[in-house]
Amino acid sequence: MEDAVVSAATGAMGPVMGKLVALLGDEYRRLRSIHTEIKSLTRELETIDAFLENMAEAEDPNPQDKAWMKEVRELSYDVEDNLDEFMARVIADKSSKPDGLVDNIKSKLKRLKARHEIAKAIEDLKKQAMEVSQRNKRYRDHAMSNTSRSPKIVDPRALAIFEDVSKLVGVDGPKKELLQRLADDQQQTKLVAIVGFGGLGKTTIANQVYQELKGQFQYRAFLSVSRNPDIVNVMSNIYGQLNHGYSGGGTENLQTLLAKILEFLQNKST
């Protein structure tokens, strides 16, 4: 469902960007006087589109993200409706042929009024887009501020790692492959990524593999982190799992913790 929300938002933005580019082309050269406004709106929407692309990579957008994406989708529909109207007016104006001086003057005044109205509409759309961007920025600044005051190491979804793996469907194959990759005889550092949509049990499989292999290693660590983890706390957690004599709760910085971990693991094979 979350992917559908992201796809709907990003999908709605595509046609809008294409039509804005078209308005800058020769076919609509009568709008040349408002090219600056069109380019400004385009840049604002490109910024929003970049945020959407980043969100598309998230496993499960939070409620605030989903609300913002819905707002973006509605904005894109408003912009597209206006662009369709602009294009229709320009094409209709091109097809009309004034007869005589009076009609020619009326036609020019009509075109001037149309360009003014289009420029005003584009400026209004740009303001809407800026408001959408600013609301998103305010939310993210607020979220980052809360994160810095109350850092979280453990992802709430980490509770799922204790779920009985038998409840998950189709995990035996991936689990077996992971065990084979990690338990071979090659004495070298290994990194294995588990990717997939949210809720598929990636963390659960990782924990099951860890539980089966941890007996082969004297020094090991397992933890799940949030999207915006406090790296110092993460390193402190890892060091605490490696060195059971470490109580934590100190004022170590990241460099100090990394140095302690490296020193502790020096010349240790397992």
pLDDT score, position 152: 47
Is the distance from CB of 13 to CB of 45 less than 8 angstroms?
Answer: yes
Residue 238 backbone dihedrals phi, psi, to 5 degrees: -60, -45
Q: Look at the pTM and tell me if it is higher than 0.85.
A: no
pLDDT score, position 161: 45
User: Looking up tokens 């689990």, which residue turns up?
Assistant: 175
For the chain, how many structural domains are there in total?
2
Q: Which residues of 183-219 are buried (b: 16+ CB within 10 A; e: fewer)?
A: eeeeeeeeeeeeeeeeebbbbbbbbbbbeeeeeeeee
Q: Are residues 170 and 254 in the same domain?
A: yes
pLDDT score, position 40: 82
User: CA 14 → CA 11, 27, 76, 196, distances in Å?
Assistant: 6, 20, 9, 25
270 within a domain of the structure (yes/no): no
Q: Are residues 18 and 102 in the same domain?
A: yes
Q: Domain range for residue 232?
A: 156-265
138 within a domain of the structure (yes/no): yes
221 within a domain of the structure (yes/no): yes
pLDDT score, position 94: 61
pLDDT score, position 104: 52
Q: Are residues 98 and 230 in the same domain?
A: no
Q: Which of 149, 181, 212 is the last residue of a domain?
A: 149
Is the distance from CB of 5 to CB of 70 less than 8 angstroms?
Answer: yes
Residue 224's closest CA among 152, 150, 163, 148?
Answer: 152
Q: Are residues 145 and 174 in the same domain?
A: no
End-to-end CA distance of the chain: 43
pLDDT score, position 222: 86
123 within a domain of the structure (yes/no): yes
pLDDT score, position 156: 47
pLDDT score, position 186: 64
Contacting residues for 100 by C-beta, under 8 A, at least 6 apart: none
Ordered per-residue pLDDT tens for the chain, 270 residues: 445 545 555 556 777 878 888 877 777 776 777 788 888 888 888 877 777 776 666 556 677 777 777 888 788 888 888 888 877 877 766 655 555 554 555 555 555 566 667 777 788 888 888 887 787 777 766 665 555 444 444 454 444 444 455 455 556 777 888 888 877 766 677 788 887 776 667 777 888 888 888 888 888 888 877 777 788 888 888 888 888 888 766 677 888 888 888 888 886 765
Q: Are residues 163 and 78 in the same domain?
A: no
Q: Which of 149, 184, 212 is the last residue of a domain?
A: 149
Contacting residues for 207 by C-beta, under 8 A, at least 6 apart: 161, 162, 222
Q: Are residues 123 and 67 in the same domain?
A: yes
pLDDT score, position 122: 80
Residues in the chain: 270
Tell me whether residue 13 is exposed, middle or buried, using C-beta atoms within 10 angstroms of its C-beta: 0 to 12, 13 to 18, 19 or more: buried
pLDDT score, position 69: 78
pLDDT score, position 29: 72
pLDDT score, position 159: 45
Is the distance from CB of 254 to CB of 232 less than 8 angstroms?
Answer: yes
